[in-house]
Amino acid sequence: MHSSVSESLPLGVWGAAGQRPVASSSPSAVLHAVPPSRAQDGTVELAIVIPTFNEAGNFEELIRRLERALEGISWEAVFVDDDSPDGTAAGLHALSARHPRIRCLRRVGRRGLSSACVEGMLATGAPWLAVMDADLQHDEGLLPAMLQVMRQGETDLVVGTRYMAGAGVGNWEPSRQRISALATRLSQRLLGLSLRDPMSGFFMIRRSAFEASVYRLSSMGFKILVDLVVSSPRPLRVHELPYRFRDRHAGQSKLDNRVAWDYLMLLADKTIGRWVPTRLVSFAAVGSLGVVVHLLALCLLMGLPGNSFVSAQSCAVALAMVGNFMLNNALTYRDQRLSGWGWWTGLLKFVAACSVGAAANVGVASYLHHGSAHWLWSGLAGILVGTVWNYGATAYLVWIKPKRVA
């Protein structure tokens, strides 16, 4: 869904004391057990939703800065933690006991920044919802300016952008800048977005606009902003404010190749998802890589002296099968990723589930090859037959979603 976009510089936004709120980065600042600032009717005006995974070294400093930036505003912070092994959730729960405006939702058995943001926004009744990272790369000092724009009543979404006058991407390496620019162009051209920074993870949205989109959201990957804008049943009135992207305060970046894959799957879901399940698209893409592995192995094995086609085809099938399991576990079923002993049992189930397809693969390919068909076409025909079975069987037997308790 297209959106109308306006822009401005965050100037002239002043706090109650006549000064613009300034966030402190002093590590010696102390968190005070101050009750949440409330509106006159006793409700929270602004909720900041903050997804976390291994952010134990960041959340206290972030809260300190939020306290200073949002002085005089009725706010709460809703942290949504994906069961971080570094104790992030435990630290937040301990902090919330003496800091009433801090809340923590701990998710067990599910992961993903977008879905975490959605659950956090659903868990609060605030009329305005902000989303930001926990690593202090987003400028919390921009939140009052965002809120002031929202209060004027003519905007549904305020986006903190890194690509306009007065903004910047900080100390990004050239490679990261190129990747971000490419991702931005893809979303603008494929989805028709007019946002300067659709990849931004720093924004504020009106609750009514979020509620109107929530049943259409894909909740995939890391780019919830694109999902919200495209899923809206009507064009959103968007306002963009500049900010400078900062370096991570502590911990390690979550950006990796899987994030890029998730973004591509989000684009696929928003373009062809109404006709083809996105997991099937991902499974087929992984399968195409498996075809390359299969054919390379078959070519190499056929070149070995004394090696028969049946043995070469069988080995190629096994190599492609293991490779497909690894990639599907890491990409297609990332939110249900198997690990530890579950990885090994999942591999065994995958092999067992694909055994019928593998037998058909080898059987069909061998039959065609014995009928004087070229080994290349024989191998491709076997792959096609096996693929039909593999997707349905492995989705049902290997990556099983936990049943919801009624």
* N-to-C CA span, the chain: 35
Amino acid identity for residue 104 in this structure = C
CA distance 7 to 14: 19
Bridge partners for 5 per DSSP = 238
pLDDT at 25: 35
Q: What is the rounded CA–CA span in Å between residue 192 and residue 195?
A: 9
Q: Any idea which residue has 């942290």 for tokens? A: 79
Position 256 scores a pLDDT of: 57
| Per-residue pLDDT at 393 | 84
Please give the full DSSP string across 230-296, using - where no structure is assigned.
HH-SS--EEEEEE-B----SSS----SHHHHHHHHHHHHHHHHTTTS-HHHHHHHHHHHHHHHHHHH
Closest among 46, 69, 45 to 136, alpha carbons compared = 69
Give residue 4's pLDDT: 58
> Consecutive 10-residue runs of the chain (406 residues): their mean pLDDT?
53 32 34 46 86 90 93 94 91 90 89 88 95 92 95 93 85 77 75 81 94 85 82 91 87 64 74 75 84 88 84 86 89 83 91 80 81 79 76 84 52
Could you tell me if 51 and 134 are in contact, meaning their C-beta atoms sit under 8 angstroms apart? yes
Instruction: Encode 254-276: b = buried (16+ Cβ within 10 Å), e = exposed.
Output: beeeebebbbbbbbbbbeebeee
- Does this model's pTM top 0.75? My answer is no
Q: Is 228 exposed, middle or buried (0-12, 13-18, 19+ CB in 10 A)?
A: buried
Residue type, 287: G
Q: Is the dihedral of CA 60, 64, 69, 73 positive or negative?
A: positive
Q: What is the pLDDT of residue 239?
A: 93
Which residue type, as a one-letter code, is found at position 205?
Answer: I
Helix (H), strand (E) at residue 375: helix 375-397
CB within 8 Å of 219: residues ≥ 6 apart: 112, 114, 115, 118, 227
CA 305, 310, 311, 317 torsion-angle sign: positive
CA 7 distance to own-chain centroid: 26
Classify residue 198 as exposed, middle or buried by CB count within 10 Å of its CB (0-12, 13-18, 19+).
buried
